[in-house]
Amino acid sequence: MTEPPLPPGAGDGAATDVPVCYRHPDRESHIRCQRCNRPICPDCMRDASVGFQCPDCVKEGARQTRQGRTAYGGKRSADPRQTTLALMGVNALVWVMIVATGGYRSSLTDLLALRPKGLCVDRAGQVNVVVPEASCVAPFGTWHEGVSSGAYWQLLTTAFTHVEIWHIAVNMFSLWLLGPMVEAVLGRTRFLVLYVGSALTASAAVYWLSAPYGSTVGASGAIFGLLGALLVFAHKVGGNVQQILLVLGINIVITFSYARISWQGHLGGLVGGIVIAAILAYAPRRHRTAWQAAGVGLVLALTAGAIVLRTAALV
């Protein structure tokens, strides 16, 4: 038998092309990335749903992947503390400005605190609720705005207003404890909706149930809303609600133990927080965002309606 002739170049030491890892040119590689088709060595192989990917494609895929969502549809916050810190910063800034301009005598306190009905303060500093706004002009006296006389911003600004240091200290400590936990569950946008919504329902309760010429300040209505929300979330997942109920019970006792504490605001914020949290937590998964928006919108519409009715009664 005769052997077939060798192909040209065979046996003369000529090298053949061998694929090498694009990140390690000194390593032979016969595996390719499923996305970019570049050869990769075992050290560069990353598990994929099918085959392997290179480190560069894994990073790019992570960048393009939609950010994770919370259990109730919100975008997961990278750091849930940031929103709480921002809210605390606004409260602290307003407090410093009020203290620097006279505390309870500051014009900022008069402007931002929730007062259901406007009143006139005469030159001697005496309150005169009989004098109408049109007659309360210099040099006779100064008019102090109320919600029913057009100062509707007070319904929100009251939740960012404090005068005494113990008041802001207690409220901000409570906000620091509760805020990040609630945002971790809801995401930033839904957390802010809950916080502001609770503040507004608290203000509506104060507007209806407190003395017409008194003034109310503080973030505690919104904070009670956060506490109510945690109660809803714990119940939703079948968790132990006893500790939350204990904390809530202690705060309710404190609320009704001191005459200067606004039980109206605490009650309104708690109810608002529970209702809004229930809407966010129990909304159907299908079209969940639309259900949540409609439910919260209805709560805010009813709150606005209650405010309008109270204004008509006070004017």
Domain ranges, residue 260: 81-103+150-314
Res 68: pLDDT: 80
Does residue 147 surpass a pLDDT of 60? yes
The residue-averaged pLDDT of 259-277 equals 96
The residue-averaged pLDDT of 294-310 equals 98
The residue-averaged pLDDT of 165-193 equals 96
Residues 167 and 294 reside in one and the same domain: yes
Q: Is 149 a catalytic residue?
A: no
Residues 290 and 155 reside in one and the same domain: yes
The residue-averaged pLDDT of 254-270 equals 94
The residue-averaged pLDDT of 292-312 equals 98
Res 65: pLDDT: 46
Residues 40 and 88 reside in one and the same domain: no
The total number of structural domains in the chain stands at 2
Task: List, for residues 94-134, the tens digit of each pLDDT value.
Answer: 999 999 999 998 999 999 999 999 999 887 778 888 888 88
Residues 156 and 48 reside in one and the same domain: no
Res 50: pLDDT: 61
Res 117: pLDDT: 94
Q: For residue 3, what pLDDT band results from cuts at 50, 70 and 90? A: very low
167, part of any domain:
yes
Does residue 14 surpass a pLDDT of 80? no
250, part of any domain:
yes
Residues 33 and 158 reside in one and the same domain: no
Q: First CA to last CA across the chain, in angstroms?
A: 119
Residues 38 and 170 reside in one and the same domain: no
Residues 173 and 276 reside in one and the same domain: yes
The residue-averaged pLDDT of 269-287 equals 96
Residues 24 and 163 reside in one and the same domain: no
Res 12: pLDDT: 46
Q: For residue 315, what pLDDT band results from cuts at 50, 70 and 90? A: confident
Res 2: pLDDT: 45
Residues 160 and 290 reside in one and the same domain: yes
Catalytic residue among 167, 220, 257, 262: 220
159, part of any domain:
yes
Q: What's the whole-model pTM score?
A: 0.78
Does residue 155 surpass a pLDDT of 50? yes
Q: Is 235 a catalytic residue?
A: no
The residue-averaged pLDDT of 16-42 equals 85
Backbone phi and psi for residue 104, each to the nearest 5 degrees, phi listed first: -65, -25
Residues 171 and 295 reside in one and the same domain: yes
